[in-house]
Structure 1
Amino acid sequence: MTTSTPGGGSPLRSSSGIWLVAEREIGSKLRSKAFIISTVILMAIALAGILIGGFASKSGADDKTPVAVTAETSSVVSALPGVEVTEVADDAAAEALVRDEKVDAAVVSGTGPTGVTILALKDAPSSLVSGLSQAPEVQILEPATTNPLLRYFIALAFGLVFLMAASTFGGTIAQSVVEEKQTRVVELLLSAMPARTLLAGKVIGNTILAMAQILVLAAVATIGLIATGQNDVLTMLGTPIIWFAVFFLFGFVLLASLFAAAASMVSRQEDIGATTTPITMLIMAPYILVIVFNDNPLVLTIMSYVPFSAPVGMPMRLFVGEAQWWEPILSLAILLASCVAAIAIGAKIYENSLLRMGSRVKLTEALRG
């Protein structure tokens, strides 16, 4: 498929037109100092969060309570986590270490139910007391698959990355469409290529930028986890991050098509919000839901099959081990079908509204043409 360029020049192929528009979108964004600075800040925040969390967990693990023990109590205390054991000859030597403040407490033989006694100068370490206390047998019916705090931060990370990337690049597409309409540059562009070619170029260009940012964030996260020795967390996150990138790719194409279509219905920058607000709400919903309901299996399951929230919901379920092997495939198939439908509807609205200036085009009119 070819079209003539303005002034009677050589015809322009659709594929060439798509890449020309995509290169223009990418180049304009990369030349923007605001975009570069915001990207660097986002990377720095992500790396700082990982480093701080890793060092804090490591320092917490290394912070052990010094405890004096005798030969009779050594086996009991050594099995406790977070305890640094110093074995002495007898109870008197253990008591002497406590009085000299060389240890926080001492565990010696006793006549109570536990068979041991804790000696402390002023206050006994609560972790030591609870560790040596007799407790009833506990049976957990629904054990947590991950640390609740870690689960919350992973949910926050997935939701925030999706929100920031989708809203940033979706907003860029909307502003670009309206700017071209407002300056009437779109009339020159449409004389060189079809509207669908122009739309495809904008979507592809911004998708490349968004995916590049996601991949850089993934690389930063990997480096940070390795640097802080959080290899177990990295192992758990490997598959979910890959699926997040795949779901985000098609989810963003869906959203980008809708952003371009919504923006084509207005002719002024001030009116963008009137048509793009519903799409922005669709982007914010997964962010809010995954933070509030990250420990609710039912909500996460529903999110993982809804096209707008699947890029967040399904990777989260994979991280906590609540998804079967076939569920990401089924969810991706639903997302792909929704993506095709959104592109078709968005292209129709875009074609029918792009050259209509003045007041806002109604959705029914844009669909009818």
Structure 2
Amino acid sequence: MTTTLPSPTGTTTPEEAAEGTRGAWLVVMKREIVVRALNKTFLVGLLVSVVIIAALAAFMAWQGSKTDSFTVAVPAGDTAATAAVESAASIPEAQGGGAELTTLEVPDDAAARTALAAGDADAWLHPAAGSADDGWVLTGEADPDSTLTRLLTAGVAEQTLATNAEAAGTTTAELTAGGTLTTDRLDGDAVDSQTLFFASFALALLFFLGALGSGQMIAGSVVEEKQSRLVEIMATAVPLRHLLAGKILGSSVVALAQNVVFAAVGLVALSFTPTASILPSLSTSLLWFVLFFAVGFLGLAALYAVAGALASRTEDLQHTTTPMTMAVMGVYFLTFSASGTFETVLSYVPVASVVSMPVRVLSGDAAWWEPIVSLLILAAFAVVALLVSERAYRGALLQTGGRIGWRSALTARA
């Protein structure tokens, strides 16, 4: 074991000072992680967010698995009406949907109206003007359910076609031969637009929660240490750039871990929903999101740390962090609603690319090299933000007496 002896004069040499502070950033980083991990507000917020994500997924699973049941009143002995309901009932089963239709035979119109009023039937299917040749009418206590109306419209059309085909001495199959329609898409296994919108909203929300919550925590930590004059004591033992590096890395680790937890809970929850088929594509997109967030948040964390250093009191934070908050909110609102060329452009713009590029990867719109180029651009932004923020942080941290501007911070001697 090697022991460093003090200099004969009793003072610390530059070499000894450098050796003592070389790992200061690591100590600060560990402190930031521990303090954040033990913060009750953070832990409660994390738990609430996880519960909300799980609850939303549970609601989606319930919505996807629930079956709507309808009772349709039909005239007693009317085989055409009964056949129309049976045809309508077979449509959800063929399409993988969830709806069940049953018939309730009624002797006359008065009995049908009574069944509707009593809630024994959801709708009453009967011939118009007393004859099926004039078409059919679907009557409800109020407007009939839209799903039921859609199914019975198709069921009536199918039954009518079968009746007319039989009268013409042919069959429905012969009349509809060659009339089937299938769908195809040029982009292969890309997800549908509704799922893509949901995924983009979820990624934008993850970015918003992680960037805003952790960023505000960094700024608050800096201004608290500055307002209590604790930073002046710390500055005598730890170089300010080490203090900044430790705060940035510690907060980045916590923010990234938080998003990983959210993403993992979301993926597990989605596995129980009808969208489980897109999990492989979504997992790849989430991996890109985590990588982009890890790089982009380094720059954001540095800027938030400067926002805290520019303030002299906690009350000043609202003013100094406003530009960052507006930028984060702008990314949130723009990215989940973007599409087409605008989304392509955003996928190369720091920090919007944290959300937009993973969404394009999920949609299959991005070539293999595009995420790499976008990530390099984001990394360049993070480096520039770190360099500028380090200079402003050192220039503003030890200044007191009111809010400090960026120009003053960058030109101050540190």
| Category of TM-score, reference length = shorter chain | 0.7 to 0.9
CA distance in 1, matches of 2:24, 2:58: 44
Please report how far the alpha carbon of residue 139 of structure 1 lies from its aligned counterpart in structure 2 after TM superposition.
Answer: 11
1:172 pairs with 213, 217, 235, which one? Answer: 217
In the other structure, the counterpart of 2:297 is: 252
Question: CA-to-partner distance for each residue in 1:88-133, whole Å, 9 max, x for gaps?
Answer: xxxxxx9xx6527999999xxxx99xxxx98979779423345465
> What amino acid does structure 1 have at the position aligned with 2:45?
S
Please report how far the alpha carbon of residue 320 of structure 1 lies from its aligned counterpart in structure 2 after TM superposition.
Answer: 2.3
Please report the TM-score for the alignment, with normalisation by the length of structure 2.
Answer: 0.71
CA distance in 2, matches of 1:83, 1:312: 34
Residues 99 and 239 of structure 1: is their aligned pair in 2 closer, same or farther, counting only changes over 3 Å? same
Is 1:188 matched up with 2:195? Answer: no
Contact kept, 8 Å, 1:173 with 1:206, in 2: the verdict is yes
> What amino acid does structure 1 have at the position aligned with 2:303?
L
CA distance in 1, matches of 2:21, 2:153: 72
Contact kept, 8 Å, 2:226 with 2:398, in 1: the verdict is yes
Is 1:298 matched up with 2:298? Answer: no
CA distance in 2, matches of 1:77, 1:158: 35
Correspondence list, 1:200-239, <5 A: 200-228=245-273, 230-239=275-284
Residues 263 and 119 of structure 1: is their aligned pair in 2 closer, same or farther, counting only changes over 3 Å? closer
Please report how far the alpha carbon of residue 353 of structure 1 lies from its aligned counterpart in structure 2 after TM superposition.
Answer: 1.4
In the other structure, the counterpart of 2:318 is: 273
- The structure having more radius of gyration, on CA atoms, is 2
CA distance in 1, matches of 2:369, 2:332: 24
Please report how far the alpha carbon of residue 25 of structure 1 lies from its aligned counterpart in structure 2 after TM superposition.
Answer: 1.0
Question: What is the RMSD computed on CA atoms of the aligned residues?
Answer: 4.0
Contact kept, 8 Å, 1:286 with 1:313, in 2: the verdict is no
Please report how far the alpha carbon of residue 206 of structure 1 lies from its aligned counterpart in structure 2 after TM superposition.
Answer: 0.5
Please report the TM-score for the alignment, with normalisation by the length of structure 1.
Answer: 0.79
Is 1:341 matched up with 2:347? Answer: no
Moved more, 224-233 or 155-164: 224-233
CA distance in 1, matches of 2:94, 2:385: 58
CA distance in 2, matches of 1:84, 1:288: 36
Is 1:52 matched up with 2:59? Answer: yes
In the other structure, the counterpart of 1:99 is: 105
Q: What are structure 1's unaligned runs of at least 5 residues? A: 87-93
Is 1:34 matched up with 2:34? Answer: no
Correspondence list, 1:34-183, <5 A: 34-59=41-66, 62-63=67-68, 69=83, 80-81=94-95, 82=97, 99=105, 125-131=148-154, 133=157, 146-183=191-228
> What amino acid does structure 2 have at the position aligned with 1:44?
V
CA distance in 2, matches of 1:266, 1:79: 63
Contact kept, 8 Å, 1:244 with 1:315, in 2: the verdict is yes
Please report how far the alpha carbon of residue 192 of structure 1 lies from its aligned counterpart in structure 2 after TM superposition.
Answer: 1.1
Please report how far the alpha carbon of residue 252 of structure 1 lies from its aligned counterpart in structure 2 after TM superposition.
Answer: 0.8
CA distance in 2, matches of 1:78, 1:168: 45
Contact kept, 8 Å, 2:29 with 2:249, in 1: the verdict is yes
Contact kept, 8 Å, 1:259 with 1:276, in 2: the verdict is yes
CA distance in 2, matches of 1:317, 1:157: 14
Is 1:325 matched up with 2:368? Answer: yes
CA distance in 1, matches of 2:320, 2:314: 11
SS of the residue 2:321 aligns to? helix
Contact kept, 8 Å, 1:178 with 1:268, in 2: the verdict is yes
CA distance in 1, matches of 2:247, 2:345: 31
> What amino acid does structure 2 have at the position aligned with 1:237?
L
Residues 142 and 228 of structure 1: is their aligned pair in 2 closer, same or farther, counting only changes over 3 Å? closer
Contact kept, 8 Å, 2:68 with 2:100, in 1: the verdict is no
CA distance in 1, matches of 2:369, 2:264: 27
CA distance in 2, matches of 1:201, 1:57: 46
CA distance in 1, matches of 2:319, 2:139: 69
Is 1:288 matched up with 2:311? Answer: no
SS of the residue 1:322 aligns to? coil
> What amino acid does structure 2 have at the position aligned with 1:286?
V
SS of the residue 1:99 aligns to? strand
Query: Aligned residues, how many?
Result: 346
Question: CA-to-partner distance for each residue in 1:142-189, whole Å, 9 max, x for gaps?
Answer: 999644443333222111111111111111111111111111111121
Question: CA-to-partner distance for each residue in 1:249-289, whole Å, 9 max, x for gaps?
Answer: 11111100011122212211111222221111111111111
Is 1:18 matched up with 2:25? Answer: yes
Contact kept, 8 Å, 2:222 with 2:308, in 1: the verdict is yes
Contact kept, 8 Å, 1:207 with 1:249, in 2: the verdict is yes
In the other structure, the counterpart of 1:351 is: 394
CA distance in 1, matches of 2:375, 2:289: 11
SS of the residue 2:271 aligns to? helix
CA distance in 2, matches of 1:306, 1:275: 23
In the other structure, the counterpart of 2:356 is: 313
Please report how far the alpha carbon of residue 226 of structure 1 lies from its aligned counterpart in structure 2 after TM superposition.
Answer: 2.3
Contact kept, 8 Å, 1:173 with 1:202, in 2: the verdict is yes
SS of the residue 1:264 aligns to? helix
